[in-house]
Amino acid sequence: MSTGTKDRPASAWSAAALWPALRETLADRPDELALLEAMEAEHAAVDEVIAVIGTALADPGAPLGDLIDSLYTGLNGHLKHEEDQTLPLIGPDAPRLLPWLLDGATEEGAATMLAPLPPPARAAFTAQWQPAYAALDRWNFGT
């Protein structure tokens, strides 16, 4: 859960890293590919609202209420959609991918992402998946 940067929104990591891998895995599953397209469209919509808010912040008198409401509604809807329908696509790769996805996340952010998982999966994340990820030498592939 990256915080993003001014020029690279937080959702950019999924567009650059996660979606291509999922797209390749799901190449013969058109319904799941359509879901990825929907996720990308939702990311673009949220990123656009963030950009508009950024521009509006330059004007001290700008009315931000509707923009903030739009961001809240769009982001919450997107996250619910992603948690309910996209994360299950990761399926058996969760032990490998979740620690990577949560690398650098705040404790609160990681807890939020792990909350929908069943208790045994959360326990496995803490006891096995995260420690295994932390032990990897990420500079040397295959180790």
pLDDT single digits (tens) 63-115 = 899 999 999 999 999 888 887 887 777 777 778 888 888 888 888 888 888 88
Give pLDDT tens digits for 9-55. Answer: 445 555 555 677 778 878 898 998 999 889 889 989 999 999 999 99
Residues 30, 33: Cα–Cα separation, whole Å = 5
When computed from its CA atoms, the radius of gyration of the chain, rounded to whole angstroms, is 17
Handedness of CA 16, 11, 21, 121 (dihedral sign): positive
**For residues 13 and 2, is the Cβ–Cβ distance under 8 A?**
yes
Predicted structure pTM score: 0.59
Task: Tell me the residue type at 30.
Answer: P
Question: Can you say whether residue 140 is alpha, beta or left, with left for phi > 0 and alpha for psi between -120 and 50 degrees?
Answer: beta
